[in-house]
Structure 1
């Protein structure tokens, strides 16, 4: 690495200023109460007969207050006379094993003790039909055998495709409840057709599986519940597109564009399915989605603890560190890539000895006209962009934005002191 250090020795590191981004962010004060209000308003509890075994499908994403959402849904089902149980609905996540998926739920706080309902996990599925193009449709075996099914998920923009329905209740039905085989089938024809396939597959599932309703949440820019709705199964196709538009209007964003270098302190599956949300970074793994800032170079400095070595999304970075590479468990990211057929997310970026060299490499190669005045933004992760750091070159622009509050004086960029060589 001696020659690399010499090549990067004179690259200037900008001083950084901490700022707060202010978003319009409606928030539900009492989530538990809002769950019951939504379910009662939808009038769906009368679909549960006394003694019905009701499967409640819960995914792997970091949905705000997911233990509360599940717990209160369990209570509502039990109040209606049903016998609720939880099934993981997360495609191939958790290493595509039943034990791994139970562990993912536990990390989210969804346990039998916290929710009051047992968790029944399996990777076995039942084929319930096929689309005209031959694409098979699968459903979790425990959900298929239940008397009734409820799905819980956040409604939000997807990271790899655009459509009237993206991430939400219908995707939970087709890919989440489809387990590894369902996720693999849904991705087989690439994300180019995902918007069409999710809807068509969900229609079949709603007809052939006793799904009674979905509990959907919209989150504000600070990842707090802004709206909770219960949608009867037959109304999902009509209501979810409008809710997706609302979700997009609530999303946070980095209020600087273009960006020469975006430094991301951590990525992980608990942050986004893509490790770092492309809707925030502007860097997508497929050509079927777009949006966000124009970013020349992305640097990833670490993995979250909860991702347990799954570095899915590292391929969207241009530079990273040897420590990140040491923390990676390749097969975890590869399992996601092989299931989704999107392999760009697990390709390797340039690997530098430490954080400082990684950032310097990004600055040197960002093609800015003046490297002493680069537009650098540093964030903790793509879920947490309320307070971020910007380089001095962006301060004048920040002062012109009413949504930006300057919180600090310029300071030297800080790096982990850990050395790997």
Structure 2
């Protein structure tokens, strides 16, 4: 037994129970019909002329209905006689390489044989203008040479700043379409100015590039499409802030104000740009965003397969596991910090030998007198918080909250011979 195991070996882990959190589950049942009804209308059809070569900008997030949304959009463009192709629209993700960004889309199910359009992936950009403060504005070269551009994205609160345009269409245009250089430029003066720079850059690109329309969704607390719209370029500035407010109202949450230890089984870029959504954890990479629970110590245990070693966000936690560190692709992870200028989330938090010691370390350091009374919450990831586990001390909170229901009796976590969770 090593010194780390010795230091935490006697720390008790409280019993837990599964509880269910209830959120509004309103969603669009027939997505195909809903999107078709918004695409096949005169104002959108008039944007497309036969023979136009059109770049369809698709991002790196795991959006609900992303494959269907992309295929339906491509089918619509073909029906108008256009020649669509896909460009990855994801800033520096995918290791900031062309093949890497194509691989990200393919992992999300966006493949030529599935959606019916070629993926043309390059990191080459063109500078089209600059802001008054001198920040350059870049656009994907392949998209800039197309006859038209269509943008697909979900609108939701950002994880590092607040404003009328956060994570949505404007950000997709200003940062996603700008590839690594565009993302770097938009982030250069820090998140303090992002609420200003994102729409400023986006408006110039809208003015100078042939953006035809945008497909925008808002997801409910269960990450299912609840709101859908197709926006003309001149509608984006007015309508996206409305969608942003709807997204904030739909945001899921951990329904406890105070948590001593928050355990997150997995993080990854397919879950959030920050690996885990700070809007859920209450842990933000910058001082320019806020909300969520007060968490004393946070533990992340593993990476998702889809993140391909990108461990951005692990530095936001206090503890992790050697297993996660061993899976970490440092180049892909550090590229995020170098592009966003926020390097804290790419740091490696204190790595313990296994799940059990990581949990014990968090309890040991959460600054309470009686460790067995620690307020502990465990979630799978920040996308799946409908059913979570909570410790015995939190039973009063559960019973007093109308949106939470206890599902099981209290039980003791089981660990395998390596010290990792069995369930």
TM-score over 0.5 for the alignment? yes
Deviations along 1:367-414, one digit per CA (max 9) or x if unpaired, are 123222111000000011011000011122212222112111111123
The CA deviation at 1:28 is 0.7
More deviation, 264-273/34-43: 34-43
Equivalences, count: 420
| Rounded Cα–Cα distance in structure 1 between residues aligned with 2:367 and 2:196 | 39
In the alignment, the residues of structure 1 paired with residue 86 and residue 383 of structure 2 have an alpha-carbon distance, to the nearest angstrom, of 26
* Cα distance in structure 2, aligned partners of 1:220 and 1:177: 26
In 2, are the aligned partners of 1:42 and 1:230 still within 8 Å (CA)?
no
Q: Deviations over 1:66-109 (max 9, x none)?
A: 00000000111112221111111001111111111110000000
* CA–CA separation in structure 1 for the residues paired with 2:319 and 2:195: 32
Which string of whole-angstrom CA distances, capped at 9 and with x for unpartnered residues, describes residues 14-33 of structure 1? 00101111101211111121
Aligned to 1:135: 135
SS at match of 2:181: helix
Structure-1 separation of matches of 2:354 and 2:47: 58
Provide the residue aligned with 1:184 in structure 2.
184
Distance (whole Å) between structure 1 residues aligned to residue 249 and residue 415 of structure 2: 35
Query: Does the CA contact (< 8 Å) of 1:162 and 1:289 recur in 2?
Result: yes
Q: Is the CA contact (8 Å cut-off) linking 1:42 and 1:231 kept in structure 2? A: no
1:77-116 matches, within 5 Å, as 77-116=77-116
Partner Cα separation in structure 2 for residue 42 and residue 260 of structure 1: 55
The residue number in structure 2 matching 1:59 is: 59
Q: Matches of 1:2 and 1:197 in 2, distance apart?
A: 50
1:238-296 deviation per Cα after TM superposition (whole angstroms, max 9, x unaligned)? 11111100000001000111000000001111111001110000001111111100000
Matched residues in 2 for 1:416 and 1:262: separation?
21
Structure 1, residues 19-59: CA drift from partner, whole Å, max 9, x if none? 11110121111112111122245822211111111111000
Tell me, in whole angstroms, the C-alpha distance in 1 between the residues paired with 2:277 and 2:415: 23
Q: 1:42 to 1:382 in 2, by over 3 A?
A: farther
RMSD: 1.3
Counterpart secondary structure, 2:215: strand
Deviates more, 1:41-50 or 1:56-65: 41-50
Provide the residue aligned with 2:264 in structure 1.
264
Distance 1:101 1:164 in 2: 28
1:403 maps to 2:399: no
Q: Distance in 2 between matches of 1:37 and 1:194?
A: 34
User: Is the aligned partner of 1:300 residue 2:280?
Assistant: no
Query: Gaps (5+ residues) in structure 1?
Result: none
Structure 1 residue matching 2:306: 3-state secondary structure: helix
**Higher mean C-alpha displacement, 383-392 vs 395-404:** 395-404
Q: Look up the match of 1:290.
A: 290
User: Following superposition of structure 1 onto structure 2, how do residues 19-418 of structure 1 map, counting pairs within 5 Å?
Assistant: 19-40=19-40, 43-418=43-418
Asked whether the 8 Å contact 2:14–2:374 carries over to 1, the reply is yes
SS in 2 for 1:413: coil
* Unpaired stretches in structure 2, ≥5 consecutive residues: none
Helix, strand or coil: the match of 1:286? coil
TM-score by length of 1: 0.97
Report the TM-score when normalising by structure 2: 0.97
Change in Cα spacing, 1:250 to 1:41, as seen in structure 2 (3 Å) is: farther
Change (3 A) 1:390 1:41: farther
Confirm or deny: 8 A CA contact 1:60 1:89 kept in the other structure: yes
